[in-house]
Every structure is written in structure tokens, then in C-alpha cells.
Homo-oligomer: A and B are copies of this chain.
């Protein structure tokens, strides 16, 4: 019913990046240490964030990670969905196969309302705000 550690860690790491000089490359090692998460795990998480275009990475000596866009233009929702998958109150809203009763299910509209509300809140918060 809540965020997993992956999500929590990703958020911590991204906020740390948002606090740095824009464009400056930061070692995953440094991030992991200061936000207090296992570095190997954070490296894995940041791999995913790179693939999805939330951060840019540079290999080799002097490499590291940096935000792909200005912190003000990255929402909390983006970060969360990148690592946790889409906001979803109940699988039946996503998977059509999960419950074949979608058509006449009275709870369905409730799930949609929940998702819309949560989505809106998370959309409205940027990394820039969180880094203050």
C-alpha cells in the first residue's frame, strides 16, 4: 500500500542531485553515502532512471550522474513512476485480465478517483521544491 525502498531511495538520490550545481556530474558513490542507501542498489536504481531519461550519465573518469532536466521540470510523480511503475490503486484498473467484471464493477470508479487525486498531488511537486 505504499512506496517500496526503491522508490524512497530514488527520491532521496534525485533530491540530492537537484541540490547540486546544474550539470555537474556526481558519483553514485557520493550520492549513496550522503543519502545513506546501499551504493550497489542505488547504482541499479540510477541505471533505470538513466534509461528513462530522468538523469544523464557519463562514463569513464570524471563521469557520474546529473539531472537530465532542470529540477523544476521534474515532478515527484515522474520519479516514483520511473521506479515503481504507474500509480495504481488496484490491478483491475490496469490489467484487463485481472477482473473481468470491469464493466459492471461498482468499485472501479473509486479506484479511478483515487489514482487521479494521487496523480495530481504528485504531479504538482517538483524536485526543485523538494530540494529546498
| Nearest B residue (CB) for A132 | B106
Whether the Cβ atoms of A91 and B131 lie closer than 8 Å is: no
Q: For the complex, count residues of A whose C-beta is within 8 A of B.
A: 32
Which residues of A, 63-105, contact B by the 8 Å Cβ criterion?
A: 76, 84-92, 99
Query: How many copies of the shown chain assemble into the complex?
Result: 2
Whether the Cβ atoms of B106 and A130 lie closer than 8 Å is: yes
| Chain B CB within 10 A, most for which of A11, A88, A107, A125 | A107
Residues on the B chain within 8 Å of A32, using CB: none
Whether the Cβ atoms of B2 and A91 lie closer than 8 Å is: yes
Whether the Cβ atoms of A110 and B125 lie closer than 8 Å is: yes
CB-contact partner of A107 in B106, B117, B130, under 8 A? B130
CB-contact partner of A76 in B110, B125, B129, under 8 A? B110
Whether the Cβ atoms of B90 and A1 lie closer than 8 Å is: no
Whether the Cβ atoms of B15 and A106 lie closer than 8 Å is: yes
A52 in contact (CB, < 8 A): no
Residues on the B chain within 8 Å of A84, using CB: 1
A61 in contact (CB, < 8 A): no
- Return the 3 tightest CB-CB contacts between A and B, nearest first: A3-B90, A2-B88, A106-B130
Could you list 8 examples of A-B contacts with CB < 8 Å? A1-B86, A1-B88, A11-B107, A110-B122, A110-B130, A113-B121, A114-B122, A117-B117
